[in-house]
Amino acid sequence: MKKARFALAVACVCLSLATVCPQAQAGSSALNEVLTLSPGENTIREFVIYGELEGSKLGPIEAYLVIGTGDNTTKLGDLTITVKPTATKTFGSDLDFCLIGFAYPIGGTPVFINVTSAAPLSLVKTVKMKAIYGFALVGAYIKNITGDVTLPVPFSITFNWAAK
């Protein structure tokens, strides 16, 4: 009973944060998209970020809520999230970007996500799920820009939910 209440409370807090966080990008909502994946499925989304994260505005951040739905015969396996930048930058310039978030396999242990990388390298995070249902709320943002980098910066994010 306590685990169910905890899971519900965490889900409510995550969804509240995702919808409350304002965006500095024109025409973009706080929660970019809600995706539903079954075990063995993957999806790719492309997006752009218009500048560095501003702490006072909590943006610009591109946020995604991914819901995994297994069944009695096939449980959710590992969730692999890959963020790849395709930034145009000059020699000597730096672009640091991050993936933050929260993943929770229903009935399991919650996992906080906080990973950083620099362009042109991709960022990859794998979360162990091992449950019938689970979700991940993640956001990508630019941590630091040094030198000449063409804005907005295009990115792609891949969600791959393995079958167990």
In a structure prediction context, what are the per-residue pLDDT tens digits for the chain, which is 164 residues long?
444 444 444 444 444 444 444 443 443 446 889 999 999 999 999 999 999 998 888 889 999 999 999 888 888 999 999 999 988 777 888 999 999 999 999 989 999 999 999 999 999 999 999 899 999 999 999 999 998 888 899 999 999 999 88
In this predicted structure, what is the pLDDT of residue 8? Answer: 46
Distances (CA, A) of 51 to 2, 59, 85, 144: 41, 9, 13, 9
The tokens 């752009």 sit on which residue?
48
Q: What are the sequence ranges of the domains in the chain?
A: 2-163
CATH architecture designation of domain 2-163:
Sandwich (2.60)
| pLDDT number for residue 30 | 63
159, 43 Cβ separation under 8 angstroms: yes
Q: What is the pLDDT of residue 3?
A: 46
Q: What is the pLDDT of residue 70?
A: 86
Q: Edge to edge, what strands does the sheet with 42-49 contain?
A: 42-49, 153-163, 76-85, 123-127
31-37 sheet: strands from edge to edge? 31-37, 62-69, 133-146, 94-105, 111-118
Query: Exposed (0-12), middle (13-18) or buried (19+): which is 40, by Cβ within 10 Å?
Result: middle
Q: Would you say 74 and 39 are in contact if contact means Cβ atoms under 8 Å apart?
A: yes
d(CA 92, CA 149): 10
pLDDT of residue 36: 95
| pLDDT (0 to 100) of residue 16 | 45
Q: How far apart are CA 4 and CA 84, in angstroms?
A: 35
Tell me the Cα Rg of the chain: 16
Report yes or no: 98 and 83 within 8 Å, Cβ to Cβ. no
Instruction: Please give the Cα distance from 66 to 136 (Å, whole number).
Output: 5
Separation between Cα atoms, residue 60 and residue 107, nearest integer Å: 32
